[in-house]
Amino acid sequence: ITSPVAFDILPLKLHPFSKSTPTGLDCVGCKRRVSAPVITDGGLDKTALTDDVGSEEDLYEDFRSSTHRYGHPGGGGEQLAINELISDGSVVYAEALWDHVTMDDQELGFKAGDVIEVMDATNKEWWWGRILDSEGWFPASFVRLRVNQDEPMEDYPLKVEGGREEDSRRFGMGQTTKDQMRTNVINEIISTERDYIKHLKDICEGYIKQCRKRADMFTEEQLKTIFGNIEDIYRCQKKFVKALEKKFNKDHPHLSEVGSCFLEYQTEFQIYSEYCNNHPNACLELSRLAKVNKYVYFFEACRLLQKMIDISLDGFLLTPVQKICKYPLQLAELLKYTNPQHRDFKDVEAALNAMKNVARLINERKRRLENIDKIAQWQSSIEDWEGEDVLVRSSELIYSGELAKISHPQAKSQQRMFFLFDHQLVCCKKDLLRRDILYYKSRISMDDMEILDVEDGKDKDFNISVKNAFKLYCRDTEEVHLFCAKKPEQKQRWLKAFENERRQVQLDQETGFSITEVQKKQAMLNASKQHHAGKPKAVTRPYYEFLLRQKHPTLPSTLPQQQVFMLAEPKRKPSNFWQNISRLTPFRK
């Protein structure tokens, strides 16, 4: 009864209940898990894996939102002991570890620190309890049993800063100390990390090691697709756990200073980006192999030999994706219960921001990889394309629009559509009659270019008068390109876009972002298939759709969608072409 509670702070999933139990939906729309494996003595209680679980799919979904460690007294001898105490007339108290917010009349709402009288614990996941005059169901995983059940409620004080005690209560009940709450979070971080290391070890030794022995079934490329860089993650996490344990104060866990560990490893955690981006490919490959019986039997044999729980391989491989997203949640909870005077406060605060940035970086990289398909589709819609593919050097469309390009030596002005990607500026010409068709004309490498703002008036290099102009200048070759926008605000957007392009290139270099050759080739192959199977370009207009879906970081957020479209597709002046033709034709009515 005295075992501490470890709690999973991810959103939880609820399995169907009988009529006597609550629905499991709270007022913020989060689902709560109820059927869950219970850890006893470091191992999984397999009876918990079959109780209340309707199907293997339910079990898989339950596993996806868990980290395999709950630790609340939810079955076996401990639960039996609780019920025996209650049936003998003893009063059993539990302390709330987390807020339970609900609008269901049959559920009991409480705040972290409240003390609840447990009246019925026959159900593993939902207990019936009472706070003052309120009674209702509450999730067992949200509480832990008080260590000393004989301690009277009126003697249950709250420790506050300065060492004094204060009899502070909520709803008439006692409240646990902030230090105790911090202890719970620290223990949760340490225990889940140890479980996670065990999980990664099982995958690397139980699956990858066995797969490499079967060269007749798996190629190295296949294994890379299925498992990604999970072995690199395993090595990184082993070092991270050692660093955490060095900072862990076993005697007084609330004094542990773990924030610095997250700060130290924030850069190394970026390796999760590669894994998360590859994970959809892994699922597709496993789905393909699952249609062949010998692979199904092989993966099941690997699981049984490693003595892993009854979860499919794709379920195991989802855990690293969950893990990197869980760190900000754990750190936010730790910061909540860390006093500003605590030596770890500033490091935890900085670590929370750092891990949020890591999560944002991973999401941004995923978005960039999704964009390469759109870029490939855009290129396939361009007529007369010459030279290397855009994806050879670029992976992001920064900005696009129409400009007048002035060329030497006659200083001739030409209206062209320009597409600014990272590393290059692509120039296209609109078809004279069908303006939704573009022809490739040229491209300019941006890596060696300097952006020059040109004042309105006569330009010395080109010996012409210009307005809303700027230049691209290469010092090495003395190459000069002069451009003119129609309006001053359009010119400013282009100048800002060139700044963003350089910033994006620098960021990619700092974070090591790159697209593999396999990803580039696959994107171009997919675009080629869609292009040949689709409708004529004049009907589908893929490059305009591509433009409208792209982020334009230089555009004001308040700019209406119609104006954004006008920027992407400048309005044409009325043409007298057909009028002139009609005058010449001899076939008049």
What's the pLDDT at 304? 93
Assess if residue 541 is contained within a domain: no
Residue pointed to by tokens 């609008």? 103
Averaged pLDDT, groups of 10, the chain, 589 residues long: 34 32 34 34 36 39 38 48 76 81 80 85 86 88 66 42 39 55 91 93 94 94 93 95 93 91 91 88 91 94 91 89 89 91 93 91 82 91 92 93 84 89 94 86 92 89 88 86 93 95 90 79 83 49 46 40 39 48 44
Regarding whether 256 and 212 lie in a shared domain, the answer is: yes
What's the pLDDT at 15? 32
Regarding whether 314 and 257 lie in a shared domain, the answer is: yes
Residues 6+ apart with CB under 8 A from 356: 328
DSSP 384-433: T--SS-GGGT---EEEEEEEEEEETTTTEEEEEEEEEETTEEEEEEE-SS
Residues 6+ apart with CB under 8 A from 493: 399, 401, 554, 555, 567
Regarding whether 342 and 205 lie in a shared domain, the answer is: yes
What's the pLDDT at 424? 95
Regarding whether 132 and 202 lie in a shared domain, the answer is: no
Measure CA 539 to chain center: 36
pLDDT tens digits for 369-416?
Answer: 888 889 999 999 999 999 999 999 999 999 999 999 987 767 778 899
Assess if residue 558 is contained within a domain: no
**C-alpha neighbours within 13 Å on the C-beta side of residue 315:** 21
In 3-state terms, what secondary structure has residue 185? Answer: helix
What's the pLDDT at 25? 32
Task: Output the six-digit token pair for 186.
Answer: 């620290």
- pTM (two decimals): 0.53
User: What's the CATH code of the domain at 108?
Assistant: 2.30.30.40
Which of 322, 347, 371 represents a domain boundary (last residue)? Answer: 371
Regarding whether 317 and 252 lie in a shared domain, the answer is: yes
Regarding whether 442 and 497 lie in a shared domain, the answer is: yes
Regarding whether 182 and 108 lie in a shared domain, the answer is: no
Assess if residue 584 is contained within a domain: no
What's the pLDDT at 399? 94
Which of 529, 554, 576 represents a domain boundary (last residue)? Answer: 529
Range of the domain at 124: 76-145
Regarding whether 487 and 349 lie in a shared domain, the answer is: no
Are 243 and 261 in contact, with CB atoms under 8 Å apart? yes
Regarding whether 410 and 273 lie in a shared domain, the answer is: no
Regarding whether 474 and 347 lie in a shared domain, the answer is: no
- Which residue(s) pair with 382 in the sheet? none
Which of 529, 547, 578 represents a domain boundary (last residue)? Answer: 529
Number of folded domains in the chain? 3
Assess if residue 71 is contained within a domain: no
Cβ burial 148-187 (10 Å sphere, 16+ → b, else e): eeeeeeeebebbeeeeeeeeebbeebbbbbbbbbbbbbbb
Using CA atoms of 335, 340, 343, 349 in order, give the dihedral in degrees to the nearest 10: 40
Residue pointed to by tokens 């309105």? 456
Task: Output the six-digit token pair for 90.
Answer: 């003893």
Assess if residue 157 is contained within a domain: no
Regarding whether 485 and 421 lie in a shared domain, the answer is: yes
Residue pointed to by tokens 């230089």? 554
User: What's the CATH code of the domain at 273?
Assistant: 1.20.900.10
Alpha helices in 177-229 (DSSP H): 178-201, 209-212, 220-227
Regarding whether 200 and 248 lie in a shared domain, the answer is: yes
Assess if residue 376 is contained within a domain: no
Assess if residue 41 is contained within a domain: no
User: What's the CATH code of the domain at 432?
Assistant: 2.30.29.30
Assess if residue 589 is contained within a domain: no
What's the pLDDT at 273? 86
d(CA 278, CA 284): 10
Of 165, 168, 127, 172, the closest CA to residue 145 belongs to 127
